[in-house]
Amino acid sequence: MTTQTLIYLIVGATFALYIGIAIWARASTTGEFYAAGRGVHPVMNGMATAADWMSAASFISMAGLIAFVGYDNSTYLMGWTGGYVLLACLLAPYLRKFGKYTVPEFIGDRFYSQSARIIAVICLIVASVTYVIGQMTGVGVTFARFLQVEASTGLYIGAAIVFAYAVLGGMKGITYTQVAQYIVLITAYTIPAIFISLQLTGTVLPPLGLFSDSVSSGTPLLVELDGLITDLGFASYTGHHTNTLNMVLFTLSLMIGTAGLPHVIIRFFTVPKVADARWSAGWALVFIALLYLTAPAVGAMARFNLVNTIQTGEVGTPEGNLAYADVPTWFTTWEQTGLIKWEDKNEDGRIQFYNDKNTAFETQAEAWGWRGNELTVNADILVLANPEIAALPGWVIALVAAGGLAAALSTAAGLLLAISSAISHDLIKGTINPNISEGGELMAARVSMAAAIAVATYLGLNPPGFAAQTVALAFGLAAASIFPALMMGIFFKRINNVGASLGMLAGLLFTVIYIFVYKGWFFLPGTSQFPDTPEYWVFGISPLSIGAIGAVVNFAVAYFASQATQEPPQEIQVLVESIRVPRGAGAAIDH
Amino acid sequence: MHQGSSSDDAYWKANLSLIRNILIIWALVSFGFGILLRPLLSGIPVGGTDLGFWFAQQGSIIIFIILIFYYAIRMNAIDRKFGAEE
């Protein structure tokens, strides 16, 4: 059987499985649609949360981002896992105790303010829609390569599948589908990693392989990798080369943002008890860590393999560089997608892959007859191309395709649920038409999904950056607006309606404006005030790291505005006290 | 106000002090060992690099998991001690 047939077979089988589960576990009430009837086992919810959480960015882009940068991008690893500690002790148990369906609903009730609720809805929609863009891009990339279609066609196909799937599911269907998707994606991610770790280091477990000796030279893999790439003018892999302040703030923004992402928070509404919400956060991180401990190994090993493929011999000798006539098949397949580009600048028929931005290395390179870097590799393809680069069997390649799609689809479904429930439950049921019938509310949730997908598809066709960077913007927004409001709602009784509303607005505007100034207004190309490069950033803080500062702005504005205005009413203080204690949480509805 | 309010205050204080301890370790392993204190740990070799690199790429994640389970276990005990469980 050819690899292509295997890909169609395995991807087709997983799609059939997801749709099967979605049909079997279809939601018939709003309680099931929004919170899966609150009957999900904490381990099961942990697994679903892991799939909900690990997106195209985690699966497809993250290892690539680490591979091309090394230590400095450890921020993604710490940031995207550290948020679960915050979630477990600062948010999840109390919000489960509160026992409603959406994040804006908590903010509206706790701050006894319809406008706070609306601001929360806007924050939620902006953050979730930004996040969906990354998923759509990921779906497009995966389809383009593995199902032999254009990236834009892939995007349309992906959107159609996500649509069918999210509308059928509701939270109940999505939960069980995400469990299946987790199993697909973690298998797809770890199997090639194990093979590659064995090939390069003889160690079965990739996280241990990363710190083991290379089979070919006997020196530690990381030492050999540092040597290989610094010889080509690249910055060392293990060294620290970026602004430390920015690194800290970026990590913090990702952590707070993770804890403030509504589609993750609402997963904790589905467990039966408050104690289950705590356990569930732990299980979620265990399942997430299986991928996150593998990713840095995949990154380092992929970089190692890539450089060795191109730089076949001694650096500087003509024969040291791979002749284009001899490139492996994976190289040409990926070239067709436009994600690998080669331009023979010095017309020697060989590929030079080096850092031509390094001025210290320039004279040396010129002396060798190199006329600039000839190879561009999109960071997003490293994980997808990994099995081919390591010459693994066809079924592994097919599995990776299915895994990438599982990661993107499961997250997209979770996001769409968060968006549609905010629109149907908070805007329509909560504001416009409180007397809407159960069936009417369900229908409204489904219709709003369609609109969200249309917007996400448009933005997916015109993405502002790497898939993971697009996602990072969503984190800034969640960090600056939603997380502080939720945390203050639980931990600070004195914060009132005025404080919370102004705080959220200030955090959101501050963050969004800082991002738009560098990334273009509404990400429209050519509308940015300053180039998005470190020398233009205030104190070297990148637009991706600004969420943490936005959160501080939010906290400060909320505190001072609350101090200057009236204390929250007695019943709100009682509400806060009851959220803090698990006793008396609503029991599971059914299952 | 509902019943058991003073015991609920003690319960909340116990929760806050547990959270504080957890967040200190959370910040120490990630922002501390992984980033800011890495130069101090550069003398401790781990598989071709140093301890700070290990914390940034693996150690912090493992400690985060331990912290969450520790919090869940301790909070269950605190829930029972103050009669705050469901």
A465 contacts chain B (CB < 8 A): no
- Cα A417 from Cα A167, distance rounded (Å): 9
Alpha helices (runs of H) in chain B, residue ranges in sequence order = 5-27, 38-41, 51-54, 60-81
Let me know if residue B22 belongs to a domain: yes
Provide the residue range defining the domain that includes B20.
5-81
Q: Is the pLDDT of residue A530 over 50?
A: yes
A292 contacts chain B (CB < 8 A): yes
A88 contacts chain B (CB < 8 A): yes
- Cα A218 from Cα A237, distance rounded (Å): 19
Q: Which of A67, A75, A107 is nearest to A91 (CA)?
A: A107
Q: Is the pLDDT of residue A406 over 60?
A: yes
- Cα A114 from Cα A434, distance rounded (Å): 13
Let me know if residue B86 belongs to a domain: no
Where are chain A's structural domains? 3-288+392-580, 302-388
Sign of CA dihedral A437, A438, A443, A448: positive
The lowest-confidence range among A298-307, A463-472, A511-520 is: A463-472
Query: Domain A3-288+392-580 is of which CATH architecture?
Result: Up-down Bundle (1.20)
ipTM: 0.95
Q: What is the pLDDT of residue A420?
A: 87
Considering its fold, how many domains does chain B have in total? 1
Which of residues A455 and A99 earns the better pLDDT score? A99
- CA end-to-end span of chain B, whole Å? 19
Average pLDDT, rounded, for chain A: 89
Q: What is the pLDDT of residue A152?
A: 84
Distance of CA A42 to the CA centre of its chain: 22
Q: Is the pLDDT of residue B2 over 50?
A: no
Q: Which of A466, A532, A535, A479 is nearest to A510 (CA)?
A: A479
Phi then psi for residue A52, to 5 deg, are -60, -45
Q: Is the pLDDT of residue A591 over 50?
A: no
Distance of CA A455 to the CA centre of its chain: 19
Let me know if residue B21 belongs to a domain: yes
- A293 and A119 in contact (C-beta within 8 Å)? no
Q: What is the pLDDT of residue A172?
A: 85
% residues pLDDT > 90 (chain A): 58
Nearest-Cα distance to chain A for B65, in Å, is 6
- Cα A129 from Cα A124, distance rounded (Å): 8
A contact residues 558-587, partner B, Cβ 8 Å cutoff: 574, 577-578, 580-585
Check CB contact under 8 Å for A581 and B11.
yes
pLDDT bucket at A129, cuts 50 / 70 / 90:
confident
Enumerate the residues of chain B whose CB falls inside 8 A of the CB of residue A210.
47, 57-58
